[in-house]
Structure 1
Amino acid sequence: MIPSPLPTSGTVISEAETCPASFCGVRGYLSNARMPGCDLSAASLRGADLKWANLAECNLRVADFESADLFHTTFDGSVMDHGRFVGANMFGANMNEVSAKEANFTNAYMKDIAMEEGNFQGALFWETFMQRAVAIDSDFSEALFHNATLTGGSLEGARFDRAEITHSLLNGTHLSNTRFSGADLADSRFTNARLDNTDFTGAMNVPEHLRRLIEKKAGSTP
C-alpha cells in the first residue's frame, strides 16, 4: 500500500478530515497549510514550520508543538487542552475562542498574540513573553504565570481567579474590569497599568506599589 503523503506548504485539508497518521510526527515545512477542522490530537509537531497556517476549529488536544514556528498561525475555535507549546514562536498568532485548559506555554514567544474569549484555565506561562497580547474576556483562572511579560497588553474583562502571577510584568497593561480574585501577585509589577473597576478581592501578596494604586483609585489617598 502506498502511504499517504505528508501535507506540505500550501496544503488544503478539508474540514473535519482526520490528518494522515504519518503526519503525527512530522517536522516538515507546512507554512501556509490550510487544515481547518482537522484532528491532530496527540500529534507530535515539534519544530514544525507552520507559519501562517490555518488550524482553526481543530482538535489539538495533547498535541506537541514544542519549538514549532507558529508565526501568525490561526488556531481560532480550536480545542488545545493539555497541548504543549514550550519554546514555540507564536508571534502574532490567533487563538481567539480556543479551549487551552492546562496547556503548557513555557518560554513561548507570544508577542502581539490575539487570544480573546479563550479558556486558559490552569495553563502554564513560565517565562512566557506576551507583550501587547490581546486577551479580552479570556479565562486564566488557576493559571500559573512566573517571570512572564504581559506589558502593554489588553486584558480587559479577563479572569485570573486563584491564578499565580509571580515575578511577572504587567506594566502599562489595560486591566479594566479584569478580575484577580484570590490570585497570588507576589513580586509582580503593575506600573502604569489601567485599573478601572479591576477586582483584587482576596488577592494575596499584593505588591506595595499596586496596593497604593488600588487605594488611590478607590480615593483612599490624595
Structure 2
Amino acid sequence: MRWLRRGEDVVQVVNASAASASGVGVSVRDPGGSRDVRLASGLEASAAVEAGTDLSGADLHDVKLSRADLHGARLHGANLRWADLHWADLRGADLSAADLHWADLREANLTGANLGGADLRETDLSGANLCGADLRGADLHWVKPFEAPPRGADLRGADLRDADLRGATLSGTDLRGANLTGANLAEAELAGACWSVDTQWSSTNLAVWMLHQSDEVRPDLYLVRTGWGLPPSEISD
C-alpha cells in the first residue's frame, strides 16, 4: 500500500473525487476513520498514490509532486497546470485530455502513458521518457525539448507547432496528421518514422525532403528509410 504525504500528515489514499478550486478532495482513511483532505495550490505533496487511483477531473494546479509515484494513476481531464512533476513516475498513467499547460515534467517517466488530447503547451519535457506514450491529438505547441527521445511515441494528430525538436530521436514515431508547423527539426533522427499526406511539416523544403527519403508502404502511409539528420538548409523556406 502506498501513501500520500501532506506536510507531516501521512494519509492512506482510498479514493479521489473531482475537486473545488481550492484543491483536490481526497477520501482517506486514518486511525480515527475517514476524512477529507484538500491539496491546496502550491502544496508540497511528495506523494506515492496507490496504483490505479482515480484522480480524473481533479484540480491539481500548481501542486508539487516532484518524484511522486503516480504510475497507473487515472488523471483523465485533471487540471495539472504549473504542477511540479519533476522526476515523477507516470508509467502507464491515463493523462488523456489533462491540462498540463506550463507543467514541469523534466525527467518524468511517461513510458506507456496515455496523453491523448492532453494540453502540453509550453510544458518542460526535458529528459522525459515518452517511450510508447500515446500522444494522439495532444497539443505540444511551444513544448520544450525532448532530451530523452519519445522513441516509438504515437503522435498522430499531435499539435507540435514551434516545438524545439533539435537532435531529437523520433525513430519509429507515428507522425500521421501531426502539425509540425514552425517546429525545429534540425539534426532530428527520423529513421523508421511514419507520416501521411496530412502531416504538416515546418517548411515546403522539408516536405519535399521527406518525400525523397521515404517509401510509400501503402496508400497515404510513408515510412522514412534513412537515418540522416536534417541540415538547417532543408528546414527553412
Same fold (TM over 0.5): yes
Contact 2:124 2:143 in 1 (8 A): yes
Does residue 1:203 correspond to 2:214, yes or no? yes
Contact 1:64 1:83 in 2 (8 A): yes
CA positional deviation for 1:23: 5.3
2:130 alignment partner in structure 1? 100
1:50 and 1:19 mapped to 2: Cα distance? Answer: 16
1:28–1:127 CA distance, 2 compared to 1 (3 A): same
1:114 and 1:61 mapped to 2: Cα distance? Answer: 20
1:96–1:201 CA distance, 2 compared to 1 (3 A): farther
Q: In the TM superposition, what whole-angstrom CA distance separates every residue of 1:27-60 from its partner, at most 9, and x where no partner exists?
A: 2211111111111100000010011111011111
Alignment equivalent of 1:67, drawn from 75, 97, 105: 97
CA positional deviation for 1:70: 0.8
1:158 alignment partner in structure 2? 188
2:210 and 2:58 mapped to 1: Cα distance? Answer: 45
2:118 alignment partner in structure 1? 88
Stretch of structure 1 that moved more, 81-90 or 134-143: 134-143
Of structures 1 and 2, the larger Rg is shown by 2
* SS of alignment partner, residue 214 of structure 2: coil
1:9 alignment partner in structure 2? 41
2:151 alignment partner in structure 1? 121
CA positional deviation for 1:18: 1.5
Q: Tell me, which stretches of 5 or more residues in structure 2 are unaligned?
A: 1-29, 217-221, 223-229
How many residues align? The count is 187
Letter in 1 for 2:168: S
Does residue 1:143 correspond to 2:154, yes or no? no
Stretch of structure 1 that moved more, 21-30 or 127-136: 21-30
Letter in 2 for 1:48: A
The structure whose residues are more often strand, as a share, is: 2
CA positional deviation for 1:160: 1.4
Q: In the TM superposition, what whole-angstrom CA distance separates every residue of 1:130-185 from its partner, at most 9, and x where no partner exists?
A: 1000122222111101111011111223211111022211123xxxxxxxxxxxxx
* SS of alignment partner, residue 60 of structure 1: coil
Write the mapping of 1:172-187 to structure 2, written as runs, cut at 5 A: 172=203
CA positional deviation for 1:105: 0.7
1:96 and 1:43 mapped to 2: Cα distance? Answer: 22
1:160 and 1:4 mapped to 2: Cα distance? Answer: 49
* SS of alignment partner, residue 204 of structure 1: strand
1:166 and 1:31 mapped to 2: Cα distance? Answer: 36
Contact 1:4 1:20 in 2 (8 A): no
Q: Tell me, which stretches of 5 or more residues in structure 1 are unaligned?
A: 173-190, 207-213
Letter in 1 for 2:61: S
* SS of alignment partner, residue 72 of structure 1: coil
Contact 1:91 1:110 in 2 (8 A): yes
Contact 1:8 1:28 in 2 (8 A): no
1:44–1:201 CA distance, 2 compared to 1 (3 A): same
1:170 alignment partner in structure 2? 201
